[in-house]
Amino acid sequence: MIARRVTRVLAVLALLSGTVFFFQGIGVLPGSFMTGRAEWAYIGASLVGVAVLVLWLARPPRSSGDASG
C-alpha cells in the first residue's frame, strides 16, 4: 500500500517534469538551455508516456464485490 502510494507520487512528479521538458523543447516555456531543442520535446513526451503507464499500472485493484456478476 505504501509502495503503491510512493510509486504514484513519483509517477506524478515524472509526469509534471516531462510536461515541462516537452513544452520547453517545443519553445513554449522559454528561459532554459532546453528551449527550442527538439530532443527535449521527445524526452519530455517519453517521460509523460512512461509516467502515465506507471500510474495506470499502479491504480488500485478493482473491487470484486460488484452486483453485476
The tens digit of pLDDT for each residue in 28-56 reads 999 889 899 999 999 999 999 999 999 99
**Distance from CA of residue 19 to its chain's centroid?**
8
Rounded Cα distance between 6 and 1, Å, is: 9
pLDDT exceeds 80 at position 66: no
DSSP-derived 3-state class of residue 28:
coil
For the chain, give the percent of residues with pLDDT over 90. Answer: 71
* Residue 26 pLDDT level (bands cut at 50, 70, 90): very high
* Residue 1 pLDDT level (bands cut at 50, 70, 90): confident
What grid cell was written down for 66?
A: 460488484
The label of the residue with cell 517545443 reads: 26
What grid cell was written down for 21?
A: 521538458
At position 42, the amino acid (one-letter code) is Y
